[in-house]
Amino acid sequence: MTSRLVECVPNFSEGRDKTIIDRIIQPILDNKGVTLLDIDMGADFNRTVVTMVGDPESVLDTVIQCTSIALELIDMSIHTGEHARMGAVDVVPFIPISNVTMADCVDLSQRYGKAISSKHNLPIYLYAESATSTQRVRLPDIRKGEYEGFQVKLSQPEWKPDFGPSQFMPKMGVTATGGRNLLIAYNVNLNTDNKTQANQIAGKIRTSGYIIKDDEGNQIQDENGKPLREPGLFSNLQAAGWMYDENTAQVSMNLLDFNLTGLHQVTDAIRMEATKLGLQAVSSELVGLVPLDAILAAGQHYGNNPNATEQELVDYAINGLMLNKLSDFDPNSNIIEWAIRGD
């Protein structure tokens, strides 16, 4: 029987000081029941995404230790970065991989929230499958206002944390945790330094779409005074325009269900929308790891070879998605199943 495996992908609001990240991840290296799959540090975002996998209890114990170290070393009152953030430990998702149910992951998130809020007096929100209200299901809704806005947000009754005090903690900020399905964090870079154009493309493809405006740039509202929105092209897709570096804008995405909205579909759509603006999609990157099935689907699309081997499909996907343009893409360490097999 396959081992019980859960994935945890904590986001830490530090992407520039490797010594801090080294200390944060040490509990993962020390626990034989947990495997460190990936560390993705981003200096411009000033954020590090860590991917670990293991048996549920080992993962829970380990991420609690990592969180305690991060809360000690990271000071949000002096933090700056491109990526939306709200806490030193920004988000801690638990994802079922094998012989683990979503209910198991919800339970892990609840136990994590109780343990950390009790130990550190940290405000914690439950999101995704663990959410206790509809307005807390989506992480962007919780993050809205970012770190700077939580001093006011925490005082609002509807934003009382699920665990911890309704009190702003300047050094720590707040944290979100929850059980969720496997998410693919995927970014496509454009040959422009105009973030507005990247955000314009993001609005065309994301599920929430974009606000409709008149010829003078004013929002068009419905009879209740709410802005009218044009839905985006895809379901289960979050997207926004960010900067990869000072010269390169990117469409930053979370694919919430790759079976419904795949990597190749969003890549092709971005290429099409970029062309309309006189731009080109020039490269892409994955933040964290990707499931094999998502890569194989892209390989089938770009390779158009019904007799291709698994390795050939992976190669087709890497080229079609432009994953090898920024740097070498190693499927043995970036595809979840291959990384676990290699370990």
pTM higher than the cut 0.75 = no
pLDDT band at 92 (very low <50, low <70, confident <90, very high): very high
Between CA 326 and CA 52 the distance in angstroms is 24
Continuous segment of H or E residues that includes residue 316: helix 310-320
pLDDT band at 2 (very low <50, low <70, confident <90, very high): low
Between CA 236 and CA 147 the distance in angstroms is 25
Q: For the purposes of burial, counting CB atoms within 10 Å of the CB of 268, is it exposed (0-12), middle (13-18) or buried (19 or more)?
A: middle
pLDDT digits (tens, 9 = 90+) for 22-51: 999 999 999 999 999 889 898 888 999 999
Q: Residue 322, by phi and psi: left (phi above 0), alpha (psi -120 to 50) or beta?
A: left
Q: Is 83 a catalytic residue?
A: yes
Catalytic residue among 79, 83, 120, 301: 83
Is the pLDDT confidence value at 57 over 60?
yes
Q: Which of 16, 120, 107 is nearest to 69 (CA)?
A: 120
Is the pLDDT confidence value at 123 over 90?
yes
pLDDT digits (tens, 9 = 90+) for 232-281: 999 999 999 999 999 999 999 999 989 899 999 999 999 999 999 999 99
Q: For the purposes of burial, counting CB atoms within 10 Å of the CB of 230, is it exposed (0-12), middle (13-18) or buried (19 or more)?
A: exposed
Average the pLDDT over each of 127-131, 255-259, 298-302 and give the range with the smallest value: 255-259
Average pLDDT, integer, range 287-303: 92
Q: Are 130 and 122 in contact (CB under 8 A)?
A: no
Between CA 178 and CA 163 the distance in angstroms is 12
Structural domains in the chain plus CATH codes: 5-179 (3.30.990.10), 184-342 (3.30.70.670)
Q: Which of 203, 320, 184 is nearest to 251 (CA)?
A: 203
pLDDT digits (tens, 9 = 90+) for 321-341: 999 999 889 999 889 888 877
Between CA 192 and CA 180 the distance in angstroms is 34
